[in-house]
Structure 1
Amino acid sequence: MACTTLVLNKSTLLIRTQGLPAISVKCFSTDPDPKPIKSLSLLKKGTGGRSSFNGIVATVFGASGFLGRYVCNKLGKQGSQIIVPYRGDFGDVHRLRLVGDLGQVLFQRFQPRDDESIRKAIKYSNVVINLVGREFATKNFSLHDCNVEFAGRLARLSKEMGVDKFIHVSALNADPNPPTLYIPGGSKFYRTKYQGEKEVKREFPGATIFRPSDIYGQGDRFLRYYAHYFRSFQQTLAVYKKGEETIKQPVFASDVAAAIVAACKDPDAFGKTYQAVGPKRYYLSDLLDWFHVIMKKTHEAHGYTRYDLRYDPVMPIKLIITSLFPGTPMGDISPERVEREGHTDIFRKSLPTLEDLGVQLTNMEDQVPWELKPSAAFLSYDEEMGEFEKPVPPNPVPL
């Protein structure tokens, strides 16, 4: 009986049979190697839904945050492949598996100070979105570490890895020297956000930057901040100058997410800075009164009253208490948050808005099924409100 021996030598298979010459069989094609795919858009397939692939492979840093969930859902709904880097427990991001089709949402551990782990997360992406931001310092990362150093490192590595688009989320009132209202030295958040923009532009000149105002939506830190019991004291709410000289322009989270996704596909968004603001401007005092009417906490029913924060002896004690415990402050009350709530949102007519990306903005009062509408004293930014115009005193909302 003849004896046959199979020998696999690298890419060649040798078949030896006793008494016969060996037969050599190649295990690979002798044709020239195919050309590498330079653009992932060539792999587009489907009709554009969650089970499609639109050619966008996006790495979303900060996807576990409030805005990140909206952005990932918008990306997955349009057939994008999403890479979610996460630093903590997988339970913080596991719910994002449902935003895309099977195999379209991938997870990658990373460390903000480890360049190699960041490279792995953006290696196959053509879009990188930075939603990482911090409103208060922790024992491991300061405001400068999160808002400046990490933003610059991510922009630099994205440029090195050949990423096509880099999108960075900043803040509306980012300023190198923000005015001081309540805490000494002014807002470090606004200062570091401005420095982060400069670092991103220096490392990635074509980056697209979004400057959002206060963002509201399900699970936000704007509406829930004022509704938290720790923010008020015995049915009284301390606000800087009673909120009657502060104008806010809050924006819906879904509108910001839709604009970020639109910027991923719009070539005209390259290198631009967008103001992510809502369609209307509101006096903070009117907003707070409106919130408490909706919550059925009026003066008659609950004893709700606004007064000037500058004369409040309780708030400094609360800030000391929250600083003694690590992690997220109780009710998101931190010195930075209290300082920023007194700043008027400055709208610059020279910069584009979300409407320039084709987003139809949502009115805040239309989101709440309540017959009472905000005060008629609200100003429209593109008609009556100038860039640095001083606001006039509002008409109080009857409670």
Structure 2
Amino acid sequence: MAALTLQQTLLITRAGHHPLAAIGIACSHYSTDVKPLKNPHTASLKRGTGGRSSFNGIVATVLGASGFIGRYVCNKLGKNGTQLIIPYRGDSYDVRRLKLVGDLGQVLFFPYDLRDENSLRKVMQYSNVVINLIGRDWETMNFKFEDVNIKGAAKVARIAREMGVEKLIHVSALNAAENPKPIIVKGGSKFLATKWHGENAVREAFPDAIIFRPSDVYGHEDRFLRYYNHVWRRTYRYLPLWKKGEETIKQPLAVSDLSTAIYNAIFDDDATGKVFQAVGPKRYKLSELVDWFYRLMRKDEENWGYKRIDLRWDIPFQWRVSLTQKFCPSWPVAYLGWDKMERDHVTDVVERGLPNLEDLGVVLTHMEDQVPWELRPFRATAYYDEEVGEFAPPAPPPVVV
């Protein structure tokens, strides 16, 4: 087929198309490998040889960047030449340190509110990628689970579609279900139920959205390893778990692996419209995991007094959960709440047929290689100057096949 003439190109441009789009149309007649720019503007052009001081062609809006996972995702994007737009709610000092994840002028901040559609449009209007990490482990006085996980997620997806965003990445949760099976709380976890409805709402508004379902995520400043070590999570030195944790199986994931997978999904055309199960490489009983954590912290039963007990019979701890949830609604101490206790004891279910992070080229981190370093600051008598080889490394937890 003959190439477009200069006159035809000018006619296309006068009809309202950008000149770069016209060039893309003309080039498409020469080769099917040439892809026209969907949003032809200066930011669509890659610059540099790769790395932090380059521009990889991605302008990403990261919602929920101030959270645990968000910090790692922003760092992964920034070090690879992504222009970042980081909306924040509340004090700007909460996200100011994220300015260092990218090169000078590549990280921009903008105040927003999830209930304000105009602010959402402003933070998405120049982006070709939107990553939704907004979430909360508990309900607050201003935001219920439905407000964040369903209405908020649907609003982000709808506005992203309206603003011409090319890729939307939505982070949900493993074990999300329409009717979660109850273990402790009557009716099951509201968090998991709203996450399931939120996925459907996102898919309806943005059919090509990429959805991640992470299990418990661990890393620096996490809410998994440090949660089980918190003094408010214990009854003195006794740790209550539902049925001592013997009937719960978990498959925790390193936060660095999740951030790598999110970054890789941006450039993987095959990932479009898929749901990825973000789980670690091994499955463990919750009881064995927690015992291993305390062995690593040198807080075993013999020397420190640690003991795992049954939550069903620890009435004082049950009162503590209820009182914490009632009197600390916006930020509960140690994240205690009955919905959190319910999710803690839900066995991780990995569905067959759905892709995982290895399908995105991620080499999964084993807990045995990372967790000892994470828990090192929490050791009993942490300032004791030990001799080399004085303490034998504790045996790792057995793997559930």
- Aligned 8 A contact 2:139 2:330 in 1: no
2:341 is aligned with 1:357: no
Aligned ranges for residues 278-293 of structure 1 at < 5 Å? 278-293=280-295
Does the CA contact (< 8 Å) of 1:152 and 1:199 recur in 2? yes
Structure 2 counterparts to residues 117-136 of structure 1, below 5 A: 117-136=119-138
Please tell me whether the aligned partners of residues 59 and 121 of structure 1 are also in contact (alpha carbons under 8 angstroms): yes
- Structure 2 unaligned spans of 5+: 1-13, 22-38, 374-391
SS of residue in 1 equivalent to 2:109: strand
Instruction: Return the alpha-carbon distance in structure 2 between the equivalents of residues 189 and 258 of structure 1.
Output: 25
1:345 and 2:348 equivalent? yes
Deviation at 1:366, TM superposition (A): 0.6
AA matched with 2:331: T
Aligned to 1:305: 307
Q: Counterpart of 2:363 in structure 1: which amino acid?
A: Q
d(CA) in 2 for partners of 1:39, 1:354:
32
Q: CA deviation at 1:85?
A: 0.4
The match for 1:371 is 393
User: Does residue 19 of structure 2 align to residue 35 of structure 1?
Assistant: yes
Q: Distance in 2 between matches of 1:110 and 1:334?
A: 28
Contact 1:212 1:277 in 2 (8 A): yes
Please list, as runs of the form range in 1=range in 2, the aligned pairs for 1:1-399 lying within 5 A after superposition.
35=19, 38-39=39-40, 42-322=44-324, 323-367=326-370, 368=372, 371-376=393-398, 378-379=399-400, 384=401
Q: Compute the displacement of 1:186 (Å).
A: 1.0
TM score, norm. by length of structure 2 = 0.84
Is the contact between residue 365 and residue 373 of structure 1 (CA under 8 Å) also seen in structure 2?
no
The structure where strand makes up a greater share of residues is 1
How much does 1:39 deviate? 4.2
Q: Distance in 2 between matches of 1:362 and 1:321?
A: 37
Larger C-alpha radius of gyration, 1 or 2?
Answer: 1
Give a deviation string over 1:124-169, Cα, whole Å, max 9, x none. 0000000001211101010100111000000000001110000000
The CA distance in 2 between the partners of 1:313 and 1:36, in whole Å, is 69
Question: Following the alignment from structure 1 to structure 2, what is the Cα–Cα distance between the partners of residues 361 and 71?
Answer: 16
Distance 1:65 1:208 in 2: 20
Cα deviation, 1:103-136, whole Å, max 9, x if unaligned, reads 1000011111111110000000000000001211
CA distance in 1, matches of 2:260, 2:393: 28
The number of aligned residues is 349
Is the 1:255–1:361 contact (alpha carbons within 8 Å) kept by the matching residues of 2? yes
Checking the alignment, whether the CA contact within 8 Å between 2:139 and 2:329 is kept in structure 1 is no
- Identity across aligned pairs (percent)? 54
TM-score relative to the length of structure 1: 0.85
Q: Identify the range of structure 1 (212-221 vs 340-349) with the bigger mean alpha-carbon deviation.
A: 340-349
Structure holding more helix per residue: 2
